[in-house]
Chains A and B, each alone.
Chain A
Amino acid sequence: MGAELNRRSFLVVAGLLGLAACGSDTGREGSAAGTLRHWYHAYGEDGVQDAVRRYAAAYPGAKVEVQWNPGDYDSKIVTALQNSAVPDVFEAQLKVDWVRQKQVVPLDDLLGDTRDDFVRTLLDSQTVDGKLYGIPQAIDTQILYYRPSLLEKAGVTPPKTLDELVEAVKRLDTGSVRGLFAGNDGGVAVLTGPLLWSAGLDFLSRDGKAPGFDDARAAMVFGKLRELNQGGLLLGSPTDWSDPGAFVNGLAAMQWTGLWNLPKITAALGGDVGVLPFPRLDMAGDESVPVGAYSAMVNARSADVAAAKAYVKWLWVEKTDYQTEFATAFGAHLPARQSLAAKTAQNGPGREVVEFVTRSGRIAAPARWSSRANLALSDAVSRIAREGADAAGELGTALDVARDEIARLDR
Chain B
Amino acid sequence: MRRSARTFWLFVGPFVAGLLVFTYVPIGWSTYLSFFDAHNTVAPTDFVGLANYVDVLTDGEFLGSVSTFTVFAAFIIPTTTALALALALLVNRIRFARTFFRSVFFLPFACSYVVASLVWKMSLFSGVDSGVVNTVFGWFGGEPQAWIGTVDPPLYWVVLVTVRLWLQLGFYMILFIAALQRIPGNLYEAAWIDGASPRQAFRHITLPGLRGTLIAVLTLNLINAYQAFDEFYNILGDSRGYPPFARPPLVYLYYTSLGSGGQDLGRGSAGAVVLALVIALVTLLTGRVFRRSQ
Taking a contact as CB atoms under 8 Å apart, the answer to whether A386 and B151 are in contact is yes
Query: What 0/1 pattern do residues 73 to 107 of B give for CB contact below 8 A with A?
Result: 00000000000000000000000000000000000
Taking a contact as CB atoms under 8 Å apart, the answer to whether B40 and A101 are in contact is yes
Taking a contact as CB atoms under 8 Å apart, the answer to whether A184 and B127 are in contact is yes
Question: Of B122, B128, B145, B151, which is within 8 A of A251 by CB?
Answer: B128
**Docked pose: A379 CA to B243 CA in angstroms:** 6
Minimum Cβ distance to chain A for residue B176 (Å)? 36
Taking a contact as CB atoms under 8 Å apart, the answer to whether A236 and B260 are in contact is no
- Select from chain B the residue with minimum beta-carbon distance to A409: B39
* Chain A interface residue count, Cβ-Cβ cutoff 8 angstroms: 46
Q: Is A9 an interface residue (CB 8 A)?
A: no
Among A71-79, A146-154, A312-320, A351-359, the stretch in contact with B: A71-79
Chain B 28-45 interface residues, beta-carbon cutoff 8 Å to A = 39-43
- Indicate the member of A75, A81, A234, A388 with the most B CB atoms within 10 Å: A75
**Docked pose: A397 CA to B145 CA in angstroms:** 32
Across the interface, which residues of B come within 8 angstroms of A387, CB to CB?
A: 151-152, 245
Chain A 362-396 interface residues, beta-carbon cutoff 8 Å to B = 370-372, 374-376, 378-379, 382-383, 386-388
Taking a contact as CB atoms under 8 Å apart, the answer to whether A374 and B260 are in contact is no
Number of A-B contacts (CB under 8 A): 113
Taking a contact as CB atoms under 8 Å apart, the answer to whether B128 and A188 are in contact is no
Given contacts A238-B123, A371-B255, A375-B255, contact A382 B243 (CB under 8 A): yes
Given contacts A371-B259, A371-B262, A372-B264, contact A386 B129 (CB under 8 A): no
Taking a contact as CB atoms under 8 Å apart, the answer to whether A372 and B261 are in contact is yes
Taking a contact as CB atoms under 8 Å apart, the answer to whether A372 and B256 are in contact is yes
Question: Of B42, B122, B128, B152, which is within 8 A of A83 by CB?
Answer: B42
Taking a contact as CB atoms under 8 Å apart, the answer to whether A101 and B243 are in contact is no
Across the interface, which residues of B come within 8 angstroms of A240, CB to CB?
A: 238
Q: Is B203 an interface residue (CB 8 A)?
A: no
Taking a contact as CB atoms under 8 Å apart, the answer to whether A97 and B40 are in contact is yes
Given contacts A75-B259, A374-B261, A379-B61, contact A236 B131 (CB under 8 A): yes
Interface majority SS (helix, strand, loop, mixed), chain A: helix
Interface majority SS (helix, strand, loop, mixed), chain B: loop
Minimum Cβ distance to chain A for residue B17 (Å)? 8
Interface residues of A (CB under 8 A from B): 8, 11, 15, 72, 74-75, 77-78, 81-83, 95, 97-98, 100-101, 103, 176, 184-186, 188-190, 234-240, 251, 370-372, 374-376, 378-379, 382-383, 386-388, 397
Q: A81-B40, A185-B243 are in contact. List 11 more A-B contacts (CB 8 A).
A: A74-B239, A74-B260, A97-B40, A184-B148, A188-B243, A189-B241, A238-B126, A372-B255, A375-B242, A379-B61, A388-B152
A-B contact pairs, 29 of them (CB 8 A): A11-B10, A74-B261, A78-B263, A82-B41, A83-B43, A95-B261, A184-B127, A184-B148, A185-B149, A185-B241, A186-B149, A189-B240, A234-B127, A235-B127, A235-B146, A236-B125, A236-B131, A236-B145, A236-B146, A236-B150, A237-B126, A239-B122, A251-B128, A374-B261, A378-B241, A378-B244, A382-B243, A386-B151, A397-B60
